[in-house]
Amino acid sequence: MRGTRWTALVVGIALGAVLVGCSGPDAPSGGTSRPVDSAPAPRPSALTAAPTVSANADSAFAALERGSDARLGVVAVDTESGTTLAYRGGDRFPFASTNKVFIAAAVLDRSSAADLDTVVHYDRGDLLAYAPVTARHVDTGMTVLELVDAAVSMSDNTAANLLVERLGGPDAVEAWLRGIGDRTTRVDRLEPELNAATPGDVRDTSTPEQFAADLRDVLLGDVLDADDRRVLQRAMLATTTGDGTIRAGVPSGWRVADKTGTGEYGVRNDIGLVTPPGRRPIVLVVMTRTDRPDAGPSDALVAEATRTAVGALRR
């Protein structure tokens, strides 16, 4: 809830430009309601600067790709040991609905407590095909905070678009990401068009490496204040769309705060924090895509990639 912070970010971006010139939806799941431990953690200057595990995991990921005829991108950062695992970490993937985490973060960062209690009104013409929460509240509207929760925990597309509109459009979301140091992610379209995921189209894409850095900054760092981090973490802990993805790939008893995404060309993603008992979280990003327009999303591929990643980090 930092209105002044947003102003500073926008001014900084504008100043940077001047200086340069001069020179849906997915199925219910469980999860606890307790937020992840969130002491601020500094962002690493580069993932490759941390100790890495690669060879055996790379072979396993390559085998998963062959078996599924898909492209797989994985980054896992153990914030306790500092160890990082990356497979195709610098490749671009369509992010689909995983970007709702950062839409929500931008709204929280820009909003005061009073702003979050503001009721947003909309009509039936604003409803998209996947609107499990907003469709029930057309007559009353929803508060900004309720829209944040609906967009993240239920992946409500209408809620996400209303939040993006409140921010000022996709360009404003991208500008917010630039302000936290993300020079990679492209934010171009609204739901559901951003899920087209056409091979070779860089619109609405990022890299696993960049999303891992952004997640660490937003959920464990100081980009958001403590209250906003707790709001976002609780929404991710309550995610209803990821029973078969990251949650299916971690050992019993681990806490998962995640956000899934599904698109055309077999896109199925999941990003978040997985926390083993008694340890600091692992930042985990799993992104998948194919070149086949008829390909369906594979929860099993994301779950197996998760199992491989956390297994490699535990060795």
Residues 101 and 180: their CA atoms lie apart, in Å, by 14
Neighbours of 253 (CB within 10 A): 8
Buried b (16+ CB within 10 A) or exposed e, 188-210: eebbbebbbbeeeeeebbbbbbb
> What six digits make up the tokens of 131?
């609107």
Element (H, E) at 280: none
Residues 93 and 197: their CA atoms lie apart, in Å, by 8
Per the CB < 8 A criterion, the answer to whether 259 and 275 are in contact is no
User: Residues 146, 191, 209, 304: which is the catalytic one?
Assistant: 191
User: Residues 97, 153, 155, 206: which is the catalytic one?
Assistant: 97
Whole-Å CA distances, 16 to 113, 169, 176: 30, 21, 14
Torsion angles phi and psi, residue 166, rounded to 5: -65, -35
Q: Is 97 a catalytic residue?
A: yes
Closest CA to 152 of 231, 239, 224, 219: 239
Q: Is 191 a catalytic residue?
A: yes
* Tokens 């939806």, residue located: 25
List residues with catalytic annotation.
97, 191
